[in-house]
Homo-oligomer: A and B are copies of this chain.
């Protein structure tokens, strides 16, 4: 066999098998850490003055080289300077290309006085090469690694394996991995949750228009890639698993919505014998425990706001509370107004006038009395005009008025104003600040957009009503609040969950009588609820979104190793791709080619 033991530095003690070296001398394997089981003895970035005089073996990429003098060697941990001795070793370095992979053995020494590089974490030392081996030559490089960030998204995606070499992407992926590990420790080790994998080849949800289908070998029958393990997590509670979690891969076919991915990951959690306060505390602990050290402290418990308050004060159910500019009720000030559209608005049932006050910016504002009210007709505030108006903020420093029905529009305008202010250099939101917020007391049902006489579930049909509203289910379902809670971070929804209905007849009533859905499609769940289902609830955190906000990435693509483009394409491997008729036969499907003019629309744009 090809088993051989290599020279390694002495390892730290650990609860772990010791692998003695075969030659029995004082050389040991590096038992733990970032260089265990490796050809290298150290990483480039860990070297410092305490390693001086040590013999080290380094493996890495050539970041920069001056053929006759030195090489800057890079691995994931950082950079180190390799001094090329002026003897036959120097020949090995001749003709080396940037990004080639080499192994260097040498001795660490202090840099000569005055030659230290304070900007480099290893800037006090250098490694004097004693031998060097070229492990692989870089023959092709579309762009220098350090320039990659500046290149087009499409190019970065096509050469993703080069893009990932950048310190930023290395940081993002490693931080994600560490956060996930901490989450698992918290859930599994501290709170005894059970990590259970649930299937991704599942049955199509009725009306699940966003679910990918997977043809099976049974003619006409398809699996579906689920949008979440919702049914399974509830069934696991019925199964007595008691506390479940999973980093669950979920799927949603949303075409080319901006910054969505066809597959994404959620931290999926469900717990039995719990109430809303319990789940919220659990999640606060989870976020606190897994929070990256270099991102400052966060305080728990998180503040909490009702859905009604959020809509009233921010015009949105996921308010960004890092700044004020709340929606203000100015109805009384306009009670006597003769302006036509304001009179109209106030005549409507529960008509009122809402406003936001946009300060010109604390830096430039010297007097505190700059509240001047500029009414703007509701009807003019169409989407396109909103931005037009907000561009004039610095001209008429302001206020926008709207009739009540348009609170969401005012909420959007509030965000646009801030972006505009910040683009003018007025700091409004501190990028190092993280505002978590719970939004609670959502309505359980909402009128359907296309048919307001009908109701649909605001969250999903398994959410339990708030206990004191439960009796209204049977009389005034529109007034029922759900035991639903959303976790909001800096104005983005990063999680949502609920206490679930555990009573079969209540669940049947909601599905059948209120939502008019065919309950037979969920007969297995209804049966399960009737066979001893414990009270239970849970939550799902959007991991991609959460991590992207924490690292300050502009897109979730920056915290996913191999993301798809806007159009759902993998630009590196060119997936999806054509499949032969022959290969489709076992699945009893064939392609329905659209007519030529539609086909013409296809392209390979990002």
Hey, what's the 0/1 contact readout for A570-594 against B, CB within 8 Å counting as 1? 1011111111000111111111111
Q: Nearest B residue to A599 by beta-carbon distance? A: B219
> Is the beta-carbon distance between B592 and A170 smaller than 8 angstroms?
no
Hey, what's the 0/1 contact readout for A453-494 against B, CB within 8 Å counting as 1? 000000000000010000000000000000100000000000
Q: Does A565 contact B (CB under 8 A)?
A: no
- Looking at the assembled complex, report how far the CB atom of A280 sits from the nearest CB atom of chain B, in whole angstroms: 7
Hey, what's the 0/1 contact readout for A399-435 against B, CB within 8 Å counting as 1? 0000000000000000000000000000000000000
Question: Contact check: which of B136, B284, B285, B524 meets A535 at CB < 8 Å?
Answer: B136
Q: Does A242 contact B (CB under 8 A)?
A: yes
**Roughly how many angstroms separate A164 CA and B277 CA in the complex, as a whole number?**
28
- Looking at the assembled complex, report how far the CB atom of A157 sits from the nearest CB atom of chain B, in whole angstroms: 11
Q: Does A39 contact B (CB under 8 A)?
A: yes
User: Which residues of chain B have C-beta atoms less than 8 A from A576's C-beta?
Assistant: 201, 203, 214, 216, 218, 221-223
- Looking at the assembled complex, report how far the CB atom of A56 sits from the nearest CB atom of chain B, in whole angstroms: 13
User: Which residues of chain B have C-beta atoms less than 8 A from A67's C-beta?
Assistant: none
With contact pairs A36-B282, A276-B2, A575-B224 given, residues A201 and B100 touching in the complex (Cβ less than 8 Å): no
Question: Contact check: which of B4, B29, B590 meets A589 at CB < 8 Å?
Answer: B590
User: Which residues of chain B have C-beta atoms less than 8 A from A304's C-beta?
Assistant: 1, 3
A-side interface residues, number (CB < 8 Å)? 167
> Is the beta-carbon distance between B161 and A438 smaller than 8 angstroms?
no
Q: Does A337 contact B (CB under 8 A)?
A: no
With contact pairs A19-B281, A217-B253 given, residues A197 and B579 touching in the complex (Cβ less than 8 Å): no
Question: Contact check: which of B76, B216, B282 meets A242 at CB < 8 Å?
Answer: B76
> Is the beta-carbon distance between B199 and A235 smaller than 8 angstroms?
no
Q: Nearest B residue to A284 by beta-carbon distance? A: B17
User: Which residues of chain B have C-beta atoms less than 8 A from A564's C-beta?
Assistant: 199, 201
Question: Contact check: which of B141, B212, B594 meets A219 at CB < 8 Å?
Answer: B594
> Is the beta-carbon distance between B16 and A190 smaller than 8 angstroms?
yes
Hey, what's the 0/1 contact readout for A196-223 against B, CB within 8 Å counting as 1? 1111111110000100111111111111
Q: Does A518 contact B (CB under 8 A)?
A: no
- Looking at the assembled complex, report how far the CB atom of A217 sits from the nearest CB atom of chain B, in whole angstroms: 6
User: Which residues of chain B have C-beta atoms less than 8 A from A6's C-beta?
Assistant: 275, 277-278
**Roughly how many angstroms separate A273 CA and B59 CA in the complex, as a whole number?**
7
User: Which residues of chain B have C-beta atoms less than 8 A from A17's C-beta?
Assistant: 284-285, 288, 300
Q: Does A140 contact B (CB under 8 A)?
A: yes
> Is the beta-carbon distance between B232 and A99 smaller than 8 angstroms?
no
7 closest cross-chain pairs (CB), A and B: A203-B575, A164-B239, A138-B532, A37-B278, A99-B532, A221-B576, A216-B576
Interchain residue pairs with CB less than 8 A apart (24): A2-B466, A2-B483, A3-B277, A4-B275, A6-B278, A16-B288, A37-B282, A76-B241, A99-B531, A101-B532, A135-B273, A136-B535, A159-B531, A162-B239, A181-B188, A200-B263, A202-B570, A213-B215, A214-B225, A218-B602, A220-B579, A222-B576, A253-B586, A588-B591
